[in-house]
Each structure stands twice: as structure tokens, then as C-alpha cells.
Structure 1
Amino acid sequence: MTGPRSPNRTYDRFSISGTDLGIMWDNGAQGEDRQVLMAFGDTFGDCSLPDQQWRHNVLMRTTDADLSDGIDVPDPVPGDPRAGSPVLPSAPDISRELVGSLALDGVEITVIPTAGIAVDGVQYVNFMSVRSWGDHGEWWTNASMIATSTDNGETWQLDPATARINLPLDVPTVQQLSTGNENFQQHAYVRHEGYVYDFGTPQGRFGAAFVSRVPETALLDLAAYEYWSGDGWVSGDAAVATPVVPPAVGEMSVQFLGGEFVMLYGNEANGTIEMRTSVRPEGPWSEARVLVTHRRIGGLYAPFIHPWSTDTDLYFTASQWGDYNVILLRTTLS
């Protein structure tokens, strides 16, 4: 999907030589305006330049519904909220950053998207603020926080009231409801029966998965969230959340397909991309089914389900560490 050798020629058209993630969601529009939006993490362009054209996050858009030959992304057009990627008039071939970062190791080295969803014409993306990197699959976060866009991803506004702090401190004007926010530093969103179900994992790739839910009209109100305790839904207390999937759950995505919920994630401990299914978001979730192993495709992580998948054609992106780019894969629920 991305990289100089990809069919999308992202280096020539978007100044993207390397990037990862490729989080996808339906923008919720109708007719010709319906698109899939794709958010990417740390992105690099011309690596001969001092800053390597580093952007902490970028966005692409597509209307391509025939995924059998890949995902086609149209050209970027400055100021066009339906074009292939947000760009500036002064740099029409450089996908611009969505949300900035201090870029200081030990303080805030980057800000990375982990989940996206659309509700009533508003785009929501949850970002994690990364304080520093550790060994492979390990990092430390300051917080996760939601940003919104009302122009189809062209511009974004972070909402400080949605911050889930992962530090032993208090932040003025930011409501910290309880401990337990450390388990919702990375997210996966899915809409169902009037709720947005918000799956969470801790920083890094070695924690368990937890789940909360919120009325889809109250996504920015942390006090409106309910958490699955193992016995039922408990309002407003993230500390009661119990794991619904055991470790090690890396970056994950969840969709409702074929009458059941489908979860994909990377298992860093085993070097696998795994799938689980359940008839309810809180589970019980099936045993893990291995889709891809590191022996087949090395360095693979972060599987994100394409929202226009079906039970017979489940498409998902994944990132490959070797060339630091995003590829498209296909499987079926059977």
C-alpha cells in the first residue's frame, strides 16, 4: 500500500518512503462522498534531508471498493477534503501532519493514531502520546487522547478532556476518573447497537485487552463510559475493567462481520498475527487462530481490518518492519 515500490507510488505523490499502521474506518458519508479514511503513524519521506521529512502521523482517503487488486489512493489536492491526502498549497506533494508532537525523547517523542471511527459526520481518532521507546515492542506513554475532525480528516482538534493519563501526576483541568486508564492507552473502536465499543490495551505489545462502551453520541465524555468487569458493565470506573483477551495483545482492530465480532492483533511473544471471534464485544472470545507467522512474513505487526470487508473476504493492513511500510492481506472467516 505504501512505499516507493508500491502501486500507489507514495514517495512520488505523498513524500512517503516509509510509514506504518494504516488504521481504517468508514467516514460515514453517503453516495459519492463515502470513503475509507486511513491513519498512519510516524512517516518519513526524503531520508537524505536532516529531518528525513518526519511527520508523526498522516492520513489518506480512498473510495476503492475492489480490494482484490489492492487499495488505490487518489492524488492529493490542496484544500480538497475528498482528495487522497491532506496537503498544503505550498507543498502539494507532501502529506501533512495531522497532530503535532514535542519530538523530545523522554518527554514526548511522537503522537501516534491507534483507532478511528465516524459518528454523525464527525471523525474521531484516538492518539497515544509516546514518551520514549524501549526494546522491540516496548514503549512508554504519557496519555491517550481523542482528536476530532468535521471536514473529513482535513484538520483535527485534540480534546484535552478525553486524556487518559498514564503518569503519576495530576493535570489541571483534566478529569482523571480513576486508575485503570493505563489499560486504555491504545484503542480499537467498533459501533454496535447505539454504542461505540472501545477496546483498550496498555502501552507496548505485551498486555491484555480490555473493553468499555459509551453511547455513540457521548464519545468525548469519559464519565459516560462503562467498563466490562467480568460480571457486567460498570459506569465511570476504568479500574474495574477485567481482561477479555489474555496477553500478549499488540495493536488491534475489531469489526462486526458475518454476525459476529472479529478481532485481529499481533502477538509479539509468539511472532504471529492472530484472530478471535465472539458474538458479544465482552466475549467470551474464541481461542486464537493464527493467520500469519513471522516465518512466513517477517517483522509483521499491527493488523487493521478494512471496514468494507465481508466474512468471505476479510481484508486487513499490516506493517512490515523490514522496509517500514504497510501491506494489504486477505483471509476469510472460514
Structure 2
Amino acid sequence: MAIGAVLTLAASGLTVLSSPTASAEPCGGIGGPGSSPLFGSSGSAGGGPEKNPRGPQGQLPAISGNATSVAWVTGPLSPNNTYDRFGISGTDLGISWDNGSGQTLMAFGDTFGNCSVTGAQWRSNVLLRSDDKNLADGITVADGVPGDSTSGAVVEPAGFASEVVPSLGVAGVEDTVIPTAAISIGGVQYMNYMSVRSWGAPGRWVTNFSAIATSKDNGQSWQTAAATIRVNAGITIPAFPQVEERNGKYQMNAYAEGQDGYIYQFGTPNGRFGAAFVARVKPEEILDLTKYEYSTQDQAKPWSTNVADSKSVVTEPVSELSVAWNDTLKRYVMLYGNEVDRTIVARTSEKPEGPWSAPKTLLNSRQTSGGIYAPYIHPLSSGNDLYFTASRWSDYNVLLLRTNVDVLK
């Protein structure tokens, strides 16, 4: 299905939406909605000749307690100096996964470069790579080499980080395309992303669809698998599994490798106030929506191939979640943001479908100003160390944090 056809179908959207995280935006402008408040087509990035070209990033916030700050991952003040090396003054998310060959890939959301130019060199998303195996002092990213699929970034000839999954960049049609989850299966990379149609009031946005893009060259190039598009149109057309009202439950996602051989996909609606749902699929069938099974939370019939039977496994509000098996705890760990309490929380469970433990607060708004959101578990977490990336809104950049899994017991 072509993107244009999908956008035509998505005439209305599921409106399970959210509140803002903080009051700044990428080039130091006024607060906007969502994890990315920008209209890619309009150049409203806060950019302009009066702006600092390098953006608003400050020093690493000193965070301690159940979570501690380790180092900036992105930004001009990070050890990676992503502004001078990749043209990145600000970005968010930093979803990380093992590429299957021991290298960590990281997908970022809306990204900005020189804030003093119109449009601030906006890109919908970028991708970095790291060979760093020691996270105690942060994540090191090597130089990007054009055309080199193992180098530190997907870059253009001048070293400028490229947009890897294109968006139309048209406000009200397809404003941007934002990664929400990724996983490697058999040497192929799979990235789940959301197509954002429009930003609403602060913290609120509407998606056209979610979909899976694949890469066979270690993230260098991506192609959307049309059969994986989950249209968010608020309607159901029985002959088309892609157009089902309940597909709105899987607009933002997280992947986890199950201990039973399944891939588990956790989903939430667009925005930050929805509940979390879970589906499972065999790795070799990840691109076939008809093969997914959804947790019904019914002991008599726990799984169904009908997405309409999907019931929540964690109640709202759940935003930008990540899930991974933890060998130390022998349980799955889930991290996500609670936008009502302004906290980053963790839950654990013996099974992906739950029951999940009560939430444990890792970070709250009183510990740091600037609004930290989007906690994504790093695949090299081991022993008692659970590492995760998160984004700080006031700096609009990604940092690495660490927690001791003992606090989750």
C-alpha cells in the first residue's frame, strides 16, 4: 500500500493523547506538543539568526537515587560532539538494539542541526552505531563514513547525519516519521515507526499509521514493508487487516525477545496517556500481520489472532516504553514514562503478558528540571546494571542512565 493511499484512508485518528513533558523545544524556542513539537514542513524549529547554532544543551544533569546519570550521548556538549561530527545539535529517543553482530544501533527521532538557519536543518530521524562494550563511562560513537554500513553513523559525504526513513514533512498530512522500536532477526534490521499526521495541543498528536521498515545493510537503507502498516483511521474494513480500529492500540511499540522463541510487540496508542497491549509473533513471520496473536487476558483463551481481542496488560498512562528480559532478575523489565505523575517507572513480570508488578519510580520531576522522558533499555545491560537512554526536553538531547536491578526486586 502506498503512503498516499494510507494517508487517504487515515481521514480521522484515534485520539488517545497526552500532556507535555516540559517547556522548551529543540533550538531553544517556546514549548510545543509531543516528543517532537516541530512541523517539519514549516520550518518552525525555533531556528533563526538570533539562535545559538549549537542549540540549548546544558551540562549533564546530576541525577542520583534509583537512577544515576552517566553521560550525554548526543549534542554538542556530549563526548561524541554530535554537532561538529554529524550536524546534530539536538535529537531525542535513542532506541538501541543489538544488530546481531555485536554492534549496537541507535535510532533517534526528530533531529536538528544548525539552529541559526531557517528550518534548523531538521530531519525526521537519524541512526548512529556504536562498538562500545563498556557503558560505565557512556556510549562512544565512531566517525561516520559515507557508504560504510559499519561506521558510526549513516552520513552524507560531508559527514552530515542522513534521514534514514523519509517523511513527507507536510503539516497535517505527514508531519514526520518517528522510530518507536527496533530489533534484529537473522541479520535483518526491523524498525517500527509511527507516521505523525499532526501535532495538537501540547503533548497531543495524531498518527496516520505505524509500520515496519527493514534494512539488510545494517541500517544504511530502509524499505517500508507495506503489509505491516497499521492504519489509525478509527474504522474497520473486514477485508483489510491493516484497516482495523483496534490497530490504534499499536501505534507506538516496543520489541522484546521472548524466552519461548516468540517476538513480543508491546503497543500503545499515539500519545502518552494510553494503556499498554502485547502481541506475539514467530520471528520469521514478523512482517505478516495475520500471524500475530494478541493477549486477551482471558485464562480460558489467552491469545487470539484478532487484534480486536487485545486487552491491556498495563493500565494507562504508559508512554514510550521499552521491554527486555533480565538474566539477573529472571524476569522481563518494562520501563516507561507516566505523564500524570511526571515519573520514569519500572515494572517486572515473569511473562510478557503479565501480571506485571506495581510500578517502581526510577526518576521523578523533583530530581531534575527540564523534563526527562522516553526510557529505552540498552541491550548491553548486564549483571546488576540496567542501562537505559532517556531524553531531556530542555536540552533536547539524549543521555545514558543506570539503575541497579536490586531496586526492582
The two structures have a TM-score, normalised by structure 1, of: 0.95
Q: Does the 8 Å contact 1:177/1:237 carry over to 2?
A: no
Displacement after TM superposition at 1:134 (Å): 2.1
Q: Does the 8 Å contact 2:167/2:174 carry over to 1?
A: yes
Identify the residue that residue 203 of structure 1 maps to in structure 2: 270
Q: For each residue in 1:91-147, what CA deviation from the matched residue of structure 2 results, as whole angstroms up to 9, or x when unmatched?
A: 3x2110011111111111100000000000000000100011123332110000000
Identify the residue that residue 155 of structure 2 maps to in structure 1: 87
Matched, 1:78 2:133: no
* Aligned partner (choices 236, 239, 242) of residue 308 of structure 2: 239
* Aligned partner (choices 342, 347, 351) of residue 271 of structure 1: 342
Identify the residue that residue 223 of structure 1 maps to in structure 2: 290
Q: Which amino acid letter does the alignment assign opposite residue 306 of structure 2?
A: D
Q: For each residue in 1:1-34, what CA deviation from the matched residue of structure 2 results, as whole angstroms up to 9, or x when unmatched?
A: 11111110000001000000000100011xxxx2
SS of the residue corresponding to residue 322 of structure 2 reads: strand
Identify the residue that residue 47 of structure 2 maps to in structure 1: none
The two structures have a TM-score, normalised by structure 2, of: 0.78
Displacement after TM superposition at 1:63 (Å): 1.1
After TM superposition, the structure 1 stretch with the greater mean CA deviation from structure 2, 299-308 or 136-145, is 136-145
Displacement after TM superposition at 1:333 (Å): 1.2
Displacement after TM superposition at 1:286 (Å): 0.2
Matched, 1:149 2:215: yes
Q: Structure 1 210/53 Cα, relative in aligned 2: closer, same or farther at 3 Å?
A: same
SS of the residue corresponding to residue 13 of structure 1 reads: helix
After TM superposition, the structure 1 stretch with the greater mean CA deviation from structure 2, 128-137 or 267-276, is 128-137
After TM superposition, the structure 1 stretch with the greater mean CA deviation from structure 2, 177-186 or 318-327, is 177-186
Counterparts of 2:96 and 2:190 in 1: how far apart (Å)? 12
Q: Structure 1 239/52 Cα, relative in aligned 2: closer, same or farther at 3 Å?
A: same
SS of the residue corresponding to residue 275 of structure 2 reads: strand
Counterparts of 2:87 and 2:377 in 1: how far apart (Å)? 25
* Aligned partner (choices 357, 363, 370) of residue 292 of structure 1: 363
Identity %: 56
Identify the residue that residue 51 of structure 1 maps to in structure 2: 119
Q: For each residue in 1:21-71, what CA deviation from the matched residue of structure 2 results, as whole angstroms up to 9, or x when unmatched?
A: 000100011xxxx20100000000011222211110000000111101000
Alignment of 1:101-140 (within 5 A): 101-140=167-206
Matched, 1:301 2:373: yes
Q: Structure 1 226/170 Cα, relative in aligned 2: closer, same or farther at 3 Å?
A: closer
Counterparts of 2:313 and 2:360 in 1: how far apart (Å)? 16
Q: For each residue in 1:147-184, what CA deviation from the matched residue of structure 2 results, as whole angstroms up to 9, or x when unmatched?
A: 0000000100011110001014689x964263310000
SS of the residue corresponding to residue 314 of structure 1 reads: strand
* Aligned partner (choices 381, 391, 396) of residue 324 of structure 1: 396
Q: Does the 8 Å contact 1:163/1:174 carry over to 2?
A: no
Q: Does the 8 Å contact 1:137/1:206 carry over to 2?
A: no
Counterparts of 2:368 and 2:344 in 1: how far apart (Å)? 10
Counterparts of 1:23 and 1:35 in 2: how far apart (Å)? 14
* Aligned partner (choices 314, 325, 332) of residue 256 of structure 1: 325
Q: Structure 1 203/24 Cα, relative in aligned 2: closer, same or farther at 3 Å?
A: same
Counterparts of 1:106 and 1:244 in 2: how far apart (Å)? 32
Q: For each residue in 1:259-280, what CA deviation from the matched residue of structure 2 results, as whole angstroms up to 9, or x when unmatched?
A: 1100000111110000000000
Displacement after TM superposition at 1:297 (Å): 2.0
Structure with the higher strand share, 1 or 2? 1
Q: For each residue in 1:284-313, what CA deviation from the matched residue of structure 2 results, as whole angstroms up to 9, or x when unmatched?
A: 000000000011123010000001102400
SS of the residue corresponding to residue 327 of structure 1 reads: strand
Displacement after TM superposition at 1:191 (Å): 1.1
Q: Structure 1 293/222 Cα, relative in aligned 2: closer, same or farther at 3 Å?
A: same
Q: Does the 8 Å contact 2:227/2:242 carry over to 1?
A: no
Q: Does the 8 Å contact 1:177/1:236 carry over to 2?
A: no
Q: Does the 8 Å contact 2:231/2:243 carry over to 1?
A: no
Q: Does the 8 Å contact 1:122/1:148 carry over to 2?
A: yes
Identify the residue that residue 282 of structure 1 maps to in structure 2: 353
